[in-house]
Chains A and B, each alone.
Chain A
């Protein structure tokens, strides 16, 4: 072993939070609704990885493209059939948030039903399962330790190119900055939003497929993860994809390494309070720097420093 397993844990968790946070930010940019169902899109990916590896006997890495498509389509259906009509009727953000919660309930129920079905039909463990043994080894470490950060890098570069260089990216930036104005110049804003939701949900699906190789899979993973995902996005400023990556890495590393460090200093009882970390991040960020990392004026800070 080259590394203490806690570092693998930290790298993987931080990368997954960054991936989920990128997706959440992409959807938040369009509809300005914090989507409670977002982490459950990742749980869909976890179950697709379970089916790929245990029932089809393929490598769980094959689940990545399938999860991208299915989670993406589920996300688009949330936007098209629920949020879009609600927005047209002038529902408040609170009602839209509750609608995403209701959608999350339905997704969780369907995931639980699938889990029951998988265990009864195929006799495959479908709750609290792990697919760690299906991962390859590379340099004495699980392959995922390398794949997860590389996925983020690929996504960040391609999203950067899409946003800055392609016609779609320009349309997307115009639609999120001022949707009325974008419509008047002939941009199909609804279509742009649909594509954003497809990408956002799809990236969550990728995160889920990767997640299955490290964490215990369970239908109720979403509600457990969502505070950390919200924290990462809020720390990142909620409007910036680069902020989302930074926020995900910061919150993820603090959750794993920070609690481990503090537990070493003050005693092992502290480990159990790890779920408080994202909540503290949320509250502190919203009070001190509500625009998050992306909103901090770095040049001004540098002036104060000198």
Chain B
């Protein structure tokens, strides 16, 4: 039984939505709540994807005893691994979760590196420095072949290869959506905690926060590390979902600028806004690509450029006419308040 094209469309849309929600929540944590202009978000996302591309395949090849150079014979080795994984589902999942953990740690480590400028520089200088950090990952990935195969890219083993083809993508999407939901709950809880209030205090007036005895540098470092770790997990999940990694896909448009656009349209410092902004973006892009062929012939250019025009225009309109986004920031209830509210009504 093959899937209907409409179902494939929806399943893929939800999966990309879930991955972007993870990345965008992490950016909202940094930029929306703490005010750190991370123009190098792609650094952590790319690092996660590179971990997924370089580590699990080599582990599987070792356990299964598959010989050969992992990069040059990548296609053959990964297809052998996927066959082997059909009978070794347990090991597959163990290594999958191990990879997510490693991606989180590597992302966090890179977060520590990015926090070095982030506590010393401010303003546009910080933004440009982080941009430079983010750019470097694509250049290194593109040229240092042992990492992710350079310009040819590598395949990523599929822990779900035991599933029949028509179930693989729906099940992967369910997994992705549940991980995104977990990140959402974690992020909501963080924002309602004392840490979350401190982050907003640092964003709004760092000097006042410091004068109240808060160690603002430490909070900034903490937030950057957690957020980079989450973004790296998002990147690793994306690599597993699409089944491959190629360095040039980790450019500043896809993983820095689009996330900024989504959280700004949805509303900064509001996780509901992140969900709505991400949904608008993902649906708009998918719909333009889906209906691409029916546009063709009416306009004398390639229709994909319409999404650049539309998204750039929407973002400028939001910035000019509704700078707080669709869902403005609201005073958050603390956790205990939430419990009181729950007791009152249930």
Interface residues of A (CB under 8 A from B): 32-34, 82, 85-86, 89, 91, 93-95, 97-99, 101-106, 108-110, 112-113, 116-117, 120-121, 223, 227, 230, 234, 269, 272-273, 275-276, 278-279, 282-283, 286-287, 290
Contact = CB atoms under 8 A, between A and B. Distances in A.
Given A99-B316, A102-B316, A282 B132 contact: yes
Given A94-B31, A109-B309, A116-B300, A273 B264 contact: no
Given A89-B320, A278-B132, A283-B117, 19 more contacts: A89-B323, A91-B319, A93-B127, A95-B264, A104-B312, A106-B316, A109-B308, A109-B309, A116-B300, A117-B301, A223-B253, A227-B131, A227-B135, A273-B140, A276-B139, A276-B140, A279-B133, A279-B135, A286-B121
28 contacts: A33-B124, A82-B316, A95-B323, A97-B127, A98-B264, A98-B319, A102-B261, A102-B312, A102-B319, A104-B312, A109-B308, A109-B312, A112-B301, A112-B302, A113-B301, A113-B305, A117-B301, A121-B300, A234-B125, A234-B128, A272-B142, A272-B143, A273-B139, A275-B135, A276-B139, A283-B129, A286-B117, A286-B125
Interface string B136-161: 10011011000000000000000000
Nearest to B143: A272
Contacts, number: 124
B305 A97 contact: no
**Range of interface residues on B (Cβ < 8 Å):** 35 or more
B171 to A, nearest CB: 35
B229 interface: no
Interface string B33-65: 000010100000000000000000000000000
A117 B305 CA distance: 12
Given A102-B312, A117-B300, A276 B136 contact: yes
Contacts of A97: 37, 39, 124, 127
A104 B301 CA distance: 19
Given A103-B312, A230-B128, A282-B128, A93 B123 contact: yes
A108 B129 contact: no
B90 interface: no
- Provide the main secondary structure of the chain A interface: helix
B122 to A, nearest CB: 10
A123 to B, nearest CB: 13
B244 to A, nearest CB: 21
Contacts of A272: 142-143
Contacts of A279: 132-133, 135-136, 139
Contacts of A275: 135, 139
Nearest to A275: B139
B110 to A, nearest CB: 14
Interface string B11-38: 0000000000000000000010000010
B301 A105 contact: no
B315 interface: yes
